[in-house]
């Protein structure tokens, strides 16, 4: 079983992708951004390897204007060496990657221009995954599209337009139930008819159910029948709903207790988490299911979270420290529950200042007089309300970079 996350890596130093506007999409800019984004992907994979994450969805925006005529560069040839390095890393570490075109890639549209652009976009995604040297098990996930007042005709049109796709795209394509138009029953029918693997999404099924008398395991088992051996292990999407938000909205983080019960009820599948805190939840789940249930797993996580927790909730900060004193235990669910509760608490100004002071403590003896004055000035401006705590954190981050303090650079404190 692989646990993964989608596109963005949060709280990790130097992992931001770049983009550009149509106005600034010069050849030079497109080349520079592509080079930067591929290097960033490489760094993200290094982080994922370190954290034991072997399932990752690559952002569709990694190549700026990748499926547009605006970008006519042979980027897969220009950056062939970089693609090869990344591809070899994927194979060596058994990392499975995927991509997921956005809402404007609609294969069943009655508008032929929209379909043409959808095919071009799918070709781009296949081109990227092929440049990495990935196998058929690296999938492109697609929703069916709209209903256009006639669901039967829309489904038939999807099947017809599917036949227009190249074999390379067909080999990678999988389809997913959504929360507005096509329930899992529809998707199973379409997948079976067109020989396309089906990805089951549990939250979408809650919002747009097909048969409320059937559980997740029932639909996962049915979807499994659409997967062939060379498609790789069956993959599903898992998320939890955000309370007090629109139905279908993803939660900020994964509740481990709820997820653990879900896990007990399903077969061995690869699970893509769709959640606001991305990799943080993937690490959380990996620590839940780890074969090596050692307290050091949680202590490493605590080192990354501790100043965020101190900033939000000093009382739970103390509770977590006490929880980790038992070196023979592995209270993974309790540990993350306390972290989640703390992060859901609004920080006070006093707690923010206290956490900042703790971080500043790493530099106060080696900082220059100018840096000391600047820190004092930023703190004063924060107290007056003219600077945000983010400005203070950005200053501390720059100082951490200057003094190459890896402990702090690996902390989540600066990033949220």
| Rounded distance between C-alpha atoms, residue 9 and residue 148, angstroms | 36
| Rounded distance between C-alpha atoms, residue 269 and residue 120, angstroms | 30
| Rounded distance between C-alpha atoms, residue 202 and residue 253, angstroms | 16
Cα 75 to chain centroid distance, Å, stands at: 24
pLDDT confidence of residue 190 = 98
pLDDT confidence of residue 108 = 97
| Rounded distance between C-alpha atoms, residue 408 and residue 395, angstroms | 13
Q: What is the pTM of this model?
A: 0.94
pLDDT confidence of residue 245 = 82
pLDDT confidence of residue 364 = 87
pLDDT confidence of residue 248 = 82
pLDDT confidence of residue 416 = 82
Tally of residues, the chain: 416
Fold of 3-289: TIM Barrel (3.20.20)
| Rounded distance between C-alpha atoms, residue 41 and residue 225, angstroms | 33
Which regions of the chain carry the CATH code 3.20.20.150? Answer: 3-289
Query: What does DSSP say about strands 96-98 and 55-57: parallel, antiparallel, or unpaired?
Result: parallel
pLDDT confidence of residue 98 = 98
Mind listing the pLDDT tens digit of every residue in the chain (416 residues)? 999 999 999 999 999 999 999 999 999 999 999 999 999 999 999 999 999 999 999 999 999 999 999 999 999 999 999 999 999 999 999 999 999 999 899 999 999 999 999 999 999 999 999 999 999 999 999 999 999 999 999 999 999 999 999 999 999 999 999 999 999 999 999 999 999 999 999 999 999 999 999 999 999 999 999 999 999 999 999 999 988 788 888 999 999 999 999 999 999 999 999 999 999 999 999 999 999 999 999 999 999 999 999 999 999 999 999 999 999 999 999 999 999 999 999 999 999 999 999 999 999 899 999 999 999 999 999 999 999 999 999 999 999 999 999 999 999 999 88
Contact between 178 and 202 under an 8 Å Cβ cutoff? The reply is: no
pLDDT confidence of residue 58 = 98
The Cα-based distances of 50 to 43, 45, 86, 233, 297 in angstroms read 11, 8, 15, 23, 12
pLDDT confidence of residue 247 = 82
pLDDT confidence of residue 145 = 97
| Rounded distance between C-alpha atoms, residue 358 and residue 340, angstroms | 21
Number of Cβ within 10 Å of residue 364's Cβ equals 11
In a 13 Å sphere around the CA of 397, the CA atoms on its Cβ side amount to: 17
| Rounded distance between C-alpha atoms, residue 130 and residue 405, angstroms | 38
Encode burial over 244-267: b for 16+ CB neighbours within 10 A, e otherwise: eeeebbbbbbbbbeebeebeeebe
Encode burial over 27-42: b for 16+ CB neighbours within 10 A, e otherwise: eeebbebbeebbebbe
Encode burial over 62-82: b for 16+ CB neighbours within 10 A, e otherwise: bbbbbbeeebebebeeebeeb
């Amino acid at each position: 079983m692989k646990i993964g996350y989608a596109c963005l890596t949060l709280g990790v130093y130097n992992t931001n992708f770049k983009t550009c506007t149509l106005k600034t999409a010069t050849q030079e800019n497109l080349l520079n951004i592509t080079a930067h984004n591929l290097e960033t992907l490489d760094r993200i994979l290094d982080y994922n390897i370190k954290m034991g994450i072997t399932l990752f969805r690559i952002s569709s925006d990694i190549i700026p204007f990748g499926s547009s005529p605006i970008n006519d560069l042979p980027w897969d040839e220009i950056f062939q060496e970089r693609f090869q390095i990344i591809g070899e890393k994927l194979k060596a570490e058994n990392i499975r990657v995927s991509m997921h075109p956005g809402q404007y890639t609609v294969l069943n549209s009655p508008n032929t221009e929209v379909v043409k652009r959808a095919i071009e976009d799918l070709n781009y995604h296949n081109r990227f995954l092929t440049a990495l040297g990935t196998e058929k098990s690296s999938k492109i996930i697609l929703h069916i599209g709209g209903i256009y007042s006639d669901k039967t005709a829309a489904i038939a049109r999807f099947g017809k337009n599917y036949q227009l796709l190249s074999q390379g795209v067909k080999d990678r394509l999988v389809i997913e139930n959504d929360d507005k138009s096509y329930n899992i029953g529809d998707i199973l029918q379409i997948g079976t008819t067109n020989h396309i693997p089906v990805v089951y999404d549990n939250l979408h099924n809650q919002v747009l159910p097909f048969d409320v008398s059937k559980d997740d395991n029932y639909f996962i088992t049915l979807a499994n029948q659409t997967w062939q051996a060379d498609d790789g292990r069956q993959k599903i999407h898992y998320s939890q709903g955000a309370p007090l938000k629109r139905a279908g909205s993803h939660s900020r983080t994964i509740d481990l207790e709820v997820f653990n019960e879900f896990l007990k009820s399903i077969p061995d599948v690869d699970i893509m988490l769709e959640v606001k805190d991305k990799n943080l939840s993937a690490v959380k789940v990996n620590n839940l299911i780890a074969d090596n249930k050692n307290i050091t797993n949680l202590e490493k996580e605590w080192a990354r979270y501790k100043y965020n927790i101190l900033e939000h909730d000093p009382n739970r900060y103390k509770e977590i420290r006490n929880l980790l004193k038992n070196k023979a235990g592995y209270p993974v669910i309790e540990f993350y529950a306390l972290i989640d509760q703390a992060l859901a608490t609004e920080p006070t100004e006093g707690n923010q200042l206290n956490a900042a002071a703790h971080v500043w403590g790493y530099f106060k003896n080696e900082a220059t007089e100018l840096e000391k004055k600047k820190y004092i000035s930023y703190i004063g401006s924060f107290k007056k309300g003219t600077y945000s705590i983010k400005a203070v954190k950005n200053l501390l981050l720059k100082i951490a970079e200057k003094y190459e303090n890896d402990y702090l650079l690996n902390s989540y404190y600066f990033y949220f």
